[in-house]
Chain A
Amino acid sequence: MHNRSIRDLARSMARGEYSSTELTRHFLSRMADAGDLNAFITVTGDQALEQAAEADRRIRSGSAGPLTGIPMVHKDIFCTAGVPTTCGSKMLADFVSPYDATVVRRLAEAGMVSMGKTNMDEFAMGSSNESSHFGAVKNPWETSRVPGGSSGGSAAAVAARLSPVATATDTGGSIRQPAALCGITGIKPSYGRVSRYGMVAFASSLDQGGVLATSAEDAALVLEAMAGFDERDSTSLEQQVPDYTATLEESIRDKVIGLPKEFFGDGVEPDVADAIQDAIRELEALGARTVEVELPNSEIGIPCYYVLAPAEASSNLSRFDGVRYGHRAAQFEDLIDMYERSRAEGFGEEVQRRIMIGTYVLSSGYYDAYYIKAQKLRRMIADDFTRAFERCDLIAGPTSPGTAFPIGAKNDDPIAMYLNDIFTNSVNLAGLPGISVNAGFDRDGLPIGLHLIGRYLDETTILNVAHQFQQATDWHNTAPGGYA
């Protein structure tokens, strides 16, 4: 059951081959067996079985939709009513959300069964899932290695076939990079496509919810259900969500793929570079054309991002003050001391580091030199993409310069960690959609991600190309040994 697509599962349930309850039990038991991956912070087995029973009623009565009864898990950044929502932080270790995020509500309404909340880098700040208060997540391909981050728990869970699909969020690569490092499919839609209401904010102008799945088809199905206008989010777009699955089977003949030379430089590990070249040849074989494009400012994306994201984060995380919810220090001298102790105890090192950077770049005397400068560069980076898309329909390259690295390898070096995002964060800066699909393995058997970037609001093209790639190759069907 755990190696089948969502459409297959739905068909089987419709035929009565098995029920959602049986399917849910199957995945819950796999989750329990794979506890050593540390992919979950909260498992909601009882609630899942209730939802599955309700889904079974709908399936029997013939009122099921394409996602009814399909089990899934949420990244623990999405607020779930009555269920702990920790954001991977001690600050929210005991926080039980009184409300559902829009994404959570929509998927529940679509009949999906939520089995729990996945581990993540604290407040989504990280590229390895090591900054979680609840411990590092292990990569199912090689458990001494990281799964990527910040959506490491979601990625590991889907890669190990513990759940057919998972929600995730991406601020600088947090869906696509773990998708690459875990050998699965991860899509970050255009900014404004998915409601941010109920998604704990990291960097509001960059954050976007999306999906981790084993295939582009599954990702398309779930994205369609979670996307769309939400009046509770002022940055949510009043745009019709396209029927993503309707166009998956279209030929990609004559699609023009832009190849930025900046994405194929020295910083990319040779095995990764080779796999991406092979993948591009595969796409050409499917009829796509390639053209060289330029993204001259892409390199500056890293410093630009590490000004803007921490700046917004420093403000977004001010609400965690121990007054209305969240961690409050046991002992303190006065109000300010209470704030300072609660926050220093509640936030981990990386979060505190980013709050400090953000506070610094916004502070008096530095605002223009850092924050405004970064906003100007952001426009230049976005303009580069606009120009590139005059010559192509989508852009391709590696998702990450390397494959999964050993747990602990970059812990003492925040900058080495930040460089993981080099190909992904400029996409967030420009608000564009991006997808990562598995495109093979390196010499150690670790997965390599192919990164496809679309025009603003054009998830359709990258899903179509990703799906056609997956029809022609079998990388996405390869599960890590021991979890097949």
Chain B
Amino acid sequence: MKWETVIGLEVHVQLMTRSKIFSGDSTAYGAAPNTQACDVSIALPGVLPVMNREAARLAVKFGMAIGAEINRTSVFARKNYFYPDLPKGYQISQYETPIVGRGSLEIDPGDGPKTIGITRAHLEEDAGKSLHGSSGDFTGIDLNRAGTPLLEIVSEPDMRSPAEAVAYLRQLHALVRYLGISDGNMQEGSFRCDANVSIRPLGAAELGTRTELKNINSFRFVEKAIRYEIERQIDILEDGGTVVQETRLYDADRDETRSMRSKEEAHDYRYFPDPDLPPMVLEDAFLAEVKESLPELPHDRRHRFIEHYGLAPADAAQLTNERTQADYFEAVAEATNAEPRTACNWILGELNAALNQEGIPVEASRIDSDALAGLLDRIADSSISGKIAKDVFSAMWNGEGDADSIIEARGLRQITDTGAIEAVVDEVLAASPDQVRQFREGNQKVIGFLVGQVMKKTRGKANPKQVNETLRRKLDA
């Protein structure tokens, strides 16, 4: 039998607020345990939550970016369960009326674009952390993270392969970073993913029984965990068994999923509207302000880069993945006389290589957009060749100055004087009678050797185009 995979993803994104969603605790990562856990975070008797405006703003920003309905009235509810990292015994979340309603995200898993539906996105508070192993027979509880604002983004079961799931996640990850609503740091838990996976006979309308995979917090693990889970479910069904609806944990070391015993007990979260928090009603002015703050979205910007700058779609996509990179490109493209395509090639090529080498983001680049534009100008006006430009780039990266001063200091300016080039060409032609003969017999390829000789004699400074033309003119004579 042919099987079809159905995947829906629930992504928890930590929002980049300074303070927690319901208290004045800092959200900074990595503080000593429980030093960012105030009376509200440890749920002392009598304390109350007060909602952070910025968390609402970031959630709405996301909603607008995915073209979703924004619910002007949303309601915080309590999700009741006992766990040591949940100090109140309930999590404040949104249940029946989330802040962000239905929207969508376009992905490109490699075989053409596809639209993935987003069911909803709701605000909630993060739990603390349980630390096992460091305290003997005990589990240690650190509540620094408790109350960090989360946006839980729930997709429709629209993905049909692990590759699509990963493409969706990457797109979402890029988007939240681009919007500046989350740092997306997966190691620190700022971007976490659960996957609902089921299979069904190809062509079937009904969904199969799904399992929920937890703890898949890298793009690589998402793909592996889902792949493993699909095979496990197919094996069960092909052996005549039935898939049990359950929560499963992905074990990266063994590359397998296993049932989470601690979650076996049937959950009854007893959601009800939180009486401590009246309904959140967003005013027109608030929504207008968020709309105003919305940057040009990656999707729109990609299309503009293709149309306006004539970039290849793949390049435009890569550039707009990161907002800072796209900004950098635009700054270079506007400042230089070089072709935008040249700017794009240099950013995705030399610049990215240099940035990756040092592991720094583009905003920390040692060559700023004006400096790169200056270098590209010298290529555009034929002062230097592309090849020489790479040496100049390295020198700039090493802090030797701007393009002009390096070209000047090293005497790299291209020879464009026709007389001077002709003299060298004559010299080379005189020294290469064999090659001249071969060319005249029809072997066009030897022109490359001759160009090389000229470049060698001029230490690369001759304008290659001019050299080529001069050679051909003289050979054809």
A residues with a Cβ closer than 8 A to B are 78-79, 85, 87, 92, 95, 97-99, 101, 196-201, 203-205, 231-235, 311-312, 314-315, 317-321, 323-325, 335-336, 339, 359, 362-364, 367, 371
Contacts and interface: CB of A to CB of B under 8 A. Distances in A.
A314 B80 CA distance: 9
Contacts of A204: 274-276
A328 to B, nearest CB: 12
B268 A203 contact: no
Nearest to A335: B84
A319 B78 CA distance: 13
9 contacts: A201-B276, A203-B275, A232-B48, A234-B277, A234-B278, A323-B87, A324-B44, A362-B80, A362-B271
B112 interface: no
Contacts of A101: 46
A314 B268 CA distance: 14
B80 A197 contact: no
A201 B46 contact: yes
Contact of B272 (A78, A99, A311, A325): A311
A363 B39 contact: no
Contacts of A232: 47-48, 50
Given A200-B46, A318-B89, A339-B82, A234 B275 contact: no
Contacts of A205: 275
Contacts of B84: 321, 323, 335
Given A311-B272, A315-B272, A362-B270, 8 more contacts: A196-B46, A197-B48, A204-B274, A204-B276, A321-B84, A363-B268, A367-B270, A367-B272
List 7 tightest A-B contacts by C-beta distance, closest first: A318-B89, A205-B275, A362-B270, A204-B275, A198-B46, A200-B45, A319-B43
Contacts of B237: none
A136 to B, nearest CB: 23
Contact of A319 (B45, B49, B270, B277): B45
Contacts of B39: 98-99
B175 to A, nearest CB: 31
A198 B44 CA distance: 9
Contact of A315 (B51, B90, B278): B90
A79 B43 contact: no
Contacts of B277: 234
A79 B272 CA distance: 27
Given A315-B90, A364-B268, A235 B45 contact: no
Contacts of A98: 39, 44
B272 A231 contact: no
A234 B139 CA distance: 34
B141 interface: yes
B366 interface: no
B88 interface: yes
A358 to B, nearest CB: 9
Contacts of B268: 363-364
A374 B139 CA distance: 41
A318 B46 contact: no
A375 to B, nearest CB: 9
B269 to A, nearest CB: 9
Interface in B261-281: 268, 270-272, 274-278
Interface string B138-178: 01010000000000000000000000000000000000000
A339 B81 CA distance: 12
Residue among B45, B47, B48, B278 facing the most chain A CB atoms (10 A cut-off): B45
A363 B43 contact: no
Contacts of B90: 315, 318
A123 to B, nearest CB: 10
A324 B46 contact: no
Contacts of A325: 44-45
B42 interface: yes
A324 B41 CA distance: 11
A201 B80 CA distance: 16
B42 A315 contact: no
Interface in B38-73: 39, 42-51
Contacts of A196: 46, 48
Nearest to B138: A335
A234 B82 contact: no
A336 B265 CA distance: 12
B48 A233 contact: yes
Contact of B42 (A311, A324, A367): A324
B472 to A, nearest CB: 81
B325 to A, nearest CB: 41
Contacts of B42: 324
Contacts of B87: 319, 323-324
Given A231-B50, A371-B272, A318 B82 contact: yes
B312 to A, nearest CB: 52
A229 B274 CA distance: 20
A200 B42 CA distance: 14
Given A324-B87, A371-B272, A318 B80 contact: yes
Nearest to B84: A323
Nearest to B269: A364
A11 to B, nearest CB: 35
Nearest to B22: A234
A79 B45 contact: yes
B278 A235 contact: yes
A197 B278 contact: no
Contacts of B141: 323
Contacts of A319: 43, 45, 87-89
B424 to A, nearest CB: 81
Contacts of B43: 319, 324
Contacts of B78: 315
A199 B50 CA distance: 16
Contacts of B82: 318, 321, 336, 339
B50 A79 contact: no
A359 B42 CA distance: 23
A318 B276 CA distance: 15
B35 to A, nearest CB: 15
A315 B45 contact: no
A310 to B, nearest CB: 12
A197 B272 contact: no
B97 to A, nearest CB: 15
Nearest to B274: A204
A317 B89 CA distance: 8
A363 B266 CA distance: 12
A95 B45 contact: yes
Contacts of B278: 234-235
Given A232-B50, A319-B88, A362-B80, A85 B45 contact: yes
Contacts of B49: 234
A321 B48 CA distance: 18
Contact of B51 (A234, A320, A324): A234
A204 B80 CA distance: 16
B41 to A, nearest CB: 10
Contact of B89 (A78, A85, A312, A315): A315
Contacts of A198: 46-47
B53 to A, nearest CB: 12
B276 A315 contact: no
Contacts of A335: 84, 139
A162 B44 CA distance: 31
Nearest to B50: A234
Contacts of B51: 234
A55 B82 CA distance: 46
Contacts of A85: 45
A315 B46 contact: no
Contacts of B80: 314-315, 318, 362
